[in-house]
């Protein structure tokens, strides 16, 4: 009897204590009884193990470790800011990878630099589909690579994973630098923006590459588009933090939220340069973050439709370019099906359906120039790709540049 009384008194004290406890310290009961047996990150890693172990062979184990490790960032310098950011970052041991290149690789491809052998298409087949054996016209090596002197991106030394501090606004409320994967600057550099060019960024949000393009201060007219209205709003917020108001409100800049796959019907034969940085499986995010993960079970259909969406976007970008113009296709995935296969199909369909003849521009001068900073995949038969590596944990970033001949 005494035990029962003591138990009741104890329960009453616990109840009273809970009622007195501030709400912020109480734990809300969860409705779900258990966590998902296979979270999206786990499903993504299983998929990559099955696909990339075949595609990358002996490279995959080291790439896998790097993907699962903390990534490196670069600080894209904002030339519109008045703060002395460059000197401050250099004092902390950072270097501008764009100017600090291999002395043999700077500006030209050596005469002895022979053509890279092509991979057997069967050796790079992923589980998503089969490789397309589409013949492509390749340009002769562009031995001299023009790099905008205005674009600067600082990184910590190879093997150093020190984090950058958030940028602070200057007196004009502009931030001094934009933090991003330094490899994502490469497609902007390779696009070779010249004075007065009319440029289209077809999938511009969240805005890192748009900020990089604007750093050239050479663009005659820039159109930034993204299909998603919410992502376009985010793009505008980014631009307001980095670009002067007078430039954002000028007639030389336009921001739209149109369906990128229909752009060829909106404006064709117009742009000197087109950047098509398409939605993809975003490999690093897929293995690290369950939130907004494309390998979630409710996004299976969306993931399977990605290669078709990428193809439609690239074809729209090709139509938007003027004859003689250049198109840069880029992703942040290792997937052959989302990279080379999309380019192959686009080249074939552009000629078959629109009479547009394209050639692939050789980007080996770019890889040779920046081999001191990035780890590039060997022997790709189309385009170039930065692959994650513990010593230089950037990427993955795939890029392929096309030149429209007709």
Q: Are 49 and 64 in contact (CB under 8 A)?
A: yes
For residue 396, say if its preceding peptide bond is cis, omega within 30 degrees of 0.
yes
- In sequence order, which residues have a C-beta less than 8 Å from that of residue 124 and are 6 or more positions away? 54, 55, 131, 336, 340
Question: In this structure, what are the phi and psi dihedrals at residue 180, rounded to the nearest 5 degrees?
Answer: -160, 170
* For the chain, the helix, strand and coil percentages under 3-state DSSP, each to the nearest 5: 40, 15, 45
DSSP H helices in 186-280: 186-190, 208-215, 229-242, 245-248, 263-266
Report the distance separating Cα 144 and Cα 391, nearest Å. 28
Any catalytic annotation for residue 153?
no
For residue 206, say if its preceding peptide bond is cis, omega within 30 degrees of 0.
yes
Nearest CA among 228, 347, 341, 340 for reference residue 279: 228
Indicate the burial class of 257 (C-beta count within 10 angstroms; 0-12, 13-18, 19 or more).
middle
Report the distance separating Cα 303 and Cα 296, nearest Å. 9
Helix (H) or strand (E) holding 321: strand 321-331
Q: Are 385 and 62 in contact (CB under 8 A)?
A: no
- The tokens describing 233, both together, are 């709003």
| Neighbouring C-beta atoms of residue 315, cutoff 10 Å | 23
| Burial track 2-29 (b if 16+ CB lie within 10 A, e otherwise) | eeeeeeeeeeeeeeeeeeeeeeeeeeee
Please pick, among 153, 280, 332, 400, the residue that the annotation labels catalytic. Answer: 332
Indicate the burial class of 122 (C-beta count within 10 angstroms; 0-12, 13-18, 19 or more).
exposed
Three-state DSSP class for residue 9: helix
Indicate the burial class of 278 (C-beta count within 10 angstroms; 0-12, 13-18, 19 or more).
buried
Positions marked active-site: 332
């Amino acid at each position: 009897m005494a035990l029962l009384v003591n138990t009741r008194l104890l329960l009453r004290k616990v109840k009273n204590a809970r009622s007195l406890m501030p709400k912020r310290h109480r734990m809300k009961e969860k409705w779900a009884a258990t966590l998902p047996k296979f979270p999206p990150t786990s499903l993504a890693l299983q998929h990559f193990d099955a696909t990339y172990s075949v595609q990358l062979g002996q490279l995959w184990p080291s790439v896998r470790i790097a993907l699962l490790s903390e990534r490196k960032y670069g600080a894209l310098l904002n030339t519109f800011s008045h703060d002395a950011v460059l000197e401050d970052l250099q004092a902390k041991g950072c270097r501008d990878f764009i100017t600090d290149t291999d002395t043999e690789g700077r500006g030209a491809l050596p005469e002895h630099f022979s053509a890279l052998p092509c991979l057997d298409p069967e050796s790079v087949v992923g589980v998503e589909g089969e490789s397309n054996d589409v013949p492509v016209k390749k340009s002769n090596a562009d031995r001299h690579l023009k790099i905008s002197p205005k674009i600067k991106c600082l990184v910590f030394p190879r093997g150093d994973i020190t984090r950058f501090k958030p940028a602070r606004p200057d007196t004009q409320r502009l931030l001094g630098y934009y933090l991003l994967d330094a490899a994502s600057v490469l497609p902007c550099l390779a696009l070779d923006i010249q004075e007065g060019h009319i440029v289209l960024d077809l999938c511009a949000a969240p805005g890192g590459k748009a900020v990089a393009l604007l750093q050239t201060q050479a663009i005659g007219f820039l159109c930034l588009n993204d299909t998603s209205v919410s992502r376009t709003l985010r793009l505008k917020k980014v631009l307001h933090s980095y670009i002067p108001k007078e430039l954002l409100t000028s007639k030389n800049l336009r921001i739209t939220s149109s369906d990128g796959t229909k752009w060829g019907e909106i404006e064709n034969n117009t742009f000197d340069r087109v950047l098509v940085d398409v939605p993809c499986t975003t490999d690093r995010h897929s293995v690290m973050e369950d939130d907004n993960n494309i390998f979630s079970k409710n996004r299976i259909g969306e993931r399977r439709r990605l290669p078709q969406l990428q193809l439609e976007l690239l074809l729209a970008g090709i139509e938007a370019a003027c004859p003689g113009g250049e198109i840069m296709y880029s992703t942040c995935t290792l997937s052959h099906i989302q990279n080379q296969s999309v380019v192959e199909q686009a080249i074939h369909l552009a000629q078959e359906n629109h009479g547009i003849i394209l050639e692939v521009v050789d980007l080996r001068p770019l890889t040779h120039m920046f081999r001191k900073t990035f780890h590039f995949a060997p022997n790709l038969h189309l385009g170039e790709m930065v692959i994650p590596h513990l010593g230089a944990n950037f990427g993955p970033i795939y890029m392929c540049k096309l030149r429209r001949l007709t």
